[in-house]
């Protein structure tokens, strides 16, 4: 994926509310060769400790009220791996989780470097694979 494609995708996201159809905009922008929207949707839970049994399609945001240090969820590809993302700003690599209108976004993209090797974005609770 090149920077121009990601910039174009980010521009598409700027004006969208949770009810608008992101897929049709991606299709009309020639980004279908880079991004594919999955029908999977994610919810989120703020918790203090990661549970032993992690549910599918739920992103657990682990930490205290104003201090979260980890996001964890099951890989959406079906490999069943638990993905744990660092949310601490001073540690690398780091991700940022935001919740707007009850929909979760994680940035930057998540690229598995072991196992299934999938590369994806979670934006407004929706899963987008990157090719």
pLDDT score, position 12? 60
Of the candidates 96, 100, 105, which has an alpha carbon nearest to the alpha carbon of residue 70?
A: 96
Q: Please give the tally of structural domains in the chain.
A: 1
d(CA 49, CA 73): 13
- 22 in a structural domain: no
Of the candidates 40, 8, 4, 38, which has an alpha carbon nearest to the alpha carbon of residue 26?
A: 8
What is the three-class DSSP state of 80?
A: coil
d(CA 38, CA 69): 27
- 99 in a structural domain: yes
- 35 in a structural domain: yes
Residue 71 phi/psi, 5° resolution? Answer: -120, 135
pLDDT score, position 19? 44
Residue 14 phi/psi, 5° resolution? Answer: -55, -45
pLDDT score, position 17? 47
pLDDT tens string, the chain, 131 residues long: the values are: 556 666 666 666 655 544 455 555 555 555 556 778 788 999 999 999 999 999 999 999 999 988 999 999 999 999 999 999 999 999 999 999 999 989 999 998 899 999 999 999 998 899 999 88
Q: Are 119 and 98 in contact (CB under 8 A)?
A: no
- 1 in a structural domain: no
pLDDT score, position 37? 77
Q: What are the residues whose beta carbons fall under 8 Å from the beta carbon of 79, sequence distance 6 or more?
A: 115, 116, 118
- Is the whole model's pTM more than 0.75, yes or no? yes
Give the range of the structural domain holding residue 118, as residue numbers without chain letter: 31-130
Residue 24 phi/psi, 5° resolution? Answer: -65, -35
- 25 in a structural domain: no
């Amino acid at each position: 994926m090149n920077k121009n494609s990601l910039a174009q995708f980010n521009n598409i996201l700027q004006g969208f509310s949770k009810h608008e159809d992101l897929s049709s905009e991606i299709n009309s922008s020639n980004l279908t060769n880079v991004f594919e929207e999955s029908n999977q949707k994610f919810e989120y839970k703020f918790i203090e400790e990661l549970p032993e049994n992690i549910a599918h399609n739920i992103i657990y945001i682990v930490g205290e009220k104003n201090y979260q240090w980890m996001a964890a969820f099951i890989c959406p590809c079906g490999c069943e791996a638990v993905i744990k993302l660092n949310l601490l700003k001073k540690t690398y690599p780091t991700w940022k989780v935001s919740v707007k209108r009850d929909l979760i976004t994680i940035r930057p993209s998540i690229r598995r470097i072991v196992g299934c090797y999938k590369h994806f974005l979670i934006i407004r609770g929706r899963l987008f694979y990157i090719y």
